[in-house]
Amino acid sequence: MIRALVVDDEPLAREGVRRALAGESDVLLVGEAVDGPGACEAILHHRPDLLFLDVQIPGFDGFEVVRRVRDLHLPTIVFVSAFDHYALAAFEVHAIDYLLKPFTDERFAEALEHARRRLATSPSVPLAHLLEWLSQRGPESPRFVDRFTVKDHDAYRLVRAEEIDWIESAGNYAQLWVGDRFYLVRTTLNRLESSLDPRRFARIHRTAILNIDRVREVRPDPTGDFSVVLTDGRTLRLSRRYRERLLG
């Protein structure tokens, strides 16, 4: 049985992999992850044989995921991306395959068959090339999430980070406020804070992250905290603990 793990921040993409693997009697999907830190945790916990790994994910990219787990557990990898400019790098290191979104069922089946053949033989030669290439890569410039895939009634929509006014904690979820509506994403504020561009977003409270471009004014109050007035007139609390992140 091939134990598979999928890492992708887009719910539709993960659902597509789940659907494609559902009819494969020799493949068991053991877990999912949506960002770099979660991917590393899932890989080391589940020890999958096969990894469907998106290149651009929040936190840090798919190549950095490989760098961080390579000495402990490195599965056979199928890179996945909506952008073709990563493909050359993937094939230069003899990656098992590279799926360009959106991919067809036939293309996915082809990648899976490549993985089956690889897992039936020794992966040491291609992985040696992969590790050598990773060791030669310079430090990555930070990659920040620039869009979210959210459920909107019975459909999905893309919300660009720049559209978000502020983000509020809701237990194991975060509410992305866009105008007078909000969309739920399953993540924590701590994870979101590390994946958002700090030039655009600032933590203002343990339960809130703010789009700085939406600030109209900041008013001090008698408690030592501040009130942040947004461009639409809404008011949020800025706690003393986080005020330097917004006010400098």
Tell me the CATH number at 236.
2.40.50.1020
- 201 within some domain: yes
Residue matched to tokens 């459920």: 151
* Strand-pair partners of 163: none
Residue 141 located in a structural domain: no
pLDDT on residue 182: 92
Residue 30: the pLDDT is 96
The letter for the amino acid at 129 is: H
Q: Which two tokens stand for residue 117?
A: 């053949």
pLDDT confidence of residue 121:
77
Q: Let me know whether 100 and 212 are in one domain.
A: no
Same domain, 168 and 80: no
pLDDT value of position 84: 64
pLDDT at 41: 93
68 falls within a domain: yes
132 and 36 in a common domain:
yes
- What's the pLDDT at 92? 45
List b or e across 24-52, with b for residues whose CB sees 16 or more CB atoms inside 10 angstroms.
eeebebbbbbbbbbbbbebbeebebbbbb
pLDDT in the model for residue 3? 95
Residue 42 and residue 81 in one domain: yes
- pLDDT tens digits, the chain, 248 residues: what are they? 999 999 999 998 999 999 999 989 999 999 999 999 999 999 999 999 999 999 889 988 888 888 888 878 888 889 888 776 655 444 544 457 888 888 888 999 999 998 998 888 754 444 555 555 555 555 545 567 777 777 777 777 778 889 999 999 998 889 999 999 999 888 888 888 888 888 899 999 999 999 999 999 999 888 778 999 999 999 999 988 888 878 76
Angle at 27 between CA 22 and CA 28, to 5 degrees: 80
Residue 182 and residue 87 share a domain: no
> In this structure, are 114 and 185 located in the same domain?
no
**In this predicted structure, what is the pLDDT of residue 228?**
93
Domain of 213 in residue numbering reads as 147-247
- CATH number of the domain bearing residue 88: 3.40.50.2300
- The per-residue pLDDT for 242 is 87
pLDDT reported for residue 248: 66
Tokens 């003393």 belong to 240
Same domain flag for 127 and 153: no
The residue among 136, 165, 195 that closes a domain is 136
My answer on whether 132 and 151 are in the same domain is no
Domain check: are 158 and 236 in the same one?
A: yes
- Boundary of a domain, candidates 136, 169, 203: 136
9 plus 131 within the same structural domain? yes
Residues 14 and 118 in one domain: yes
> In terms of domains, do 63 and 123 share one?
yes
User: Which residue type, as a one-letter code, is found at position 84?
Assistant: D
- CA dist 47 and 155 (Å) reads 33
Number of domains in the chain: 2
Would the pTM of this model clear 0.75, i.e. be above it?
no
Amino acid at position 128, single letter:
A
Domain boundary among 104, 136, 168: 136
